[in-house]
Amino acid sequence: MTRLAIGIAALVGLLTLPLVSNEYVLALISRILVFAIVAVSLDLILGYGGMVSFGHAAYFGAGAYVVLALTLLGVHNGFVHLLLAIAIPAMLGLVVGALSVRTRSIYFIMLTFAFAQMLFYFAIGQQQFGGDDGMPLQRRSQFWALNLANIRHLYYLAVCTLVAVLFACDRLVRSRFGLVLQGCRQNETRLQTMGVATYGYKVVAFGIAGGIAGLAGFLMANLNAYVSPNFLDWKVSGDVIMMIVIGGVGTLFGGPIGAAIFLLLQEVISLYTDHWMAVFGPLLVLAALFWKRGVYGLLLRLR
C-alpha cells in the first residue's frame, strides 16, 4: 500500500503541476520525465538482469535521430515517428544484446560502450544531420489532437508515457520473463542447468529496453526541437546509471526518483557554481554505501 500511495501522490502532483507552474518549470519537469523513462528502461536490464550497459545512450539518441531523419524526409506524422522511434532502437538493442550478452563483467560493459561510441561518431560524420553541431527540427511530430509545440501538451504526453512504461515494466518483471531475468542476475548457471535458454531472455530484454529508451528519445527531440550527437554521448549513459543508483537499483520506481534528484540538483547547484558534481558526488557515495535500494528504498523504510 505504501508503494501505491507514493505512486498516487506523485501522479496527482504531476497532473496538477501545470496549474501552478510557468513554461520554464514545465520544460524542466518534462526533461526529468524523459530521463525517468530512460532510467526505467536501463533499470530493466541493469537492476533485474544484472547487465551493466554503459551504452544505453545509443538507443536514446537513435530514437531522437529517427524523428530528425523523418522530418527531413518530409514525414511529419507523429504516429509514424513514434512507431519507428521505438522499433529501430529496439532492433538496435537486439543486435547489440545478441553480441554483448555472450560476454561477462568488464568485457560486457566495454562492448556496450564501444557500440554506443561507434554510433556517436557515426552521427558526427553525418553532415546531412548537422554533423557534430546537430540540427533543429523543421517541425515537431504532428498528432491529431496534440500540439507538441505547446509545452503543456508535451508535458502531459510525457507524464502519460512514463505511467504507461512503469505499468508495463512492472507487469513484465512480475511475469515469468521477469523472473527468469532476475534469475540470470542471481545464478544464471543454475537456470541453464535446469534447461532455461537464458541467452534469448537477455537479448529480448535488451530489445525491450532499447525500444523504451528510443521512445524517450522521441520525446526529447520534440521537447528540444533539436537533435545532436550529444544525445548519444557516453556521459548520458553515465548520468542515467547515477540516477538509478541514487533512486534505487532494481526497483523501477527508483529511476524516476533518481532522475528528479539528479536533474533538480544539477539545475539548482549550477546557479552558484560550475562544479556541481563536487556537491553531487558525496550524495552518490552515500547512496552506494548506505542506501542499498536508494532513495526509494529509504522512503519505504520510513513509512
The predicted pLDDT at position 3 comes to 65
The predicted pLDDT at position 278 comes to 78
Helix runs in the chain, H state only: 2-16, 23-46, 57-72, 78-100, 105-124, 151-174, 176-193, 198-224, 234-247, 254-269, 276-290, 294-301
Question: How many C-beta atoms lie closer than 10 Å to residue 279's C-beta?
Answer: 14
Residue 32 to residue 159: CA distance in whole angstroms? 10
> pLDDT tens, 73-88?
989 999 999 999 999 9
- Mean pLDDT to the nearest integer, 235-241: 91
Query: Does pLDDT of 1 surpass 50?
Result: no
The predicted pLDDT at position 303 comes to 62
Its sign, for the CA torsion 149, 254, 49, 123, is: positive
For residue 63, name the pLDDT band (cuts at 50, 70, 90): very high
> pLDDT tens, 20-61?
788 889 999 999 999 999 999 999 999 898 888 899 999 999
* In the chain, domain spans: 2-301
- Mean pLDDT to the nearest integer, 236-253: 89
Closest CA to 216 of 130, 123, 89: 89
Residue 142, φ and ψ in degrees, nearest 5 = -105, 120
C-alpha cell at 197: 535458454
8 A C-beta contact, residue 78 and residue 146:
yes
The pTM assigned to this predicted structure is 0.93
Query: Does pLDDT of 193 surpass 60?
Result: yes
The fold for domain 2-301 equals: ABC transporter involved in vitamin B12 uptake, BtuC (1.10.3470)
8 A C-beta contact, residue 206 and residue 89:
no
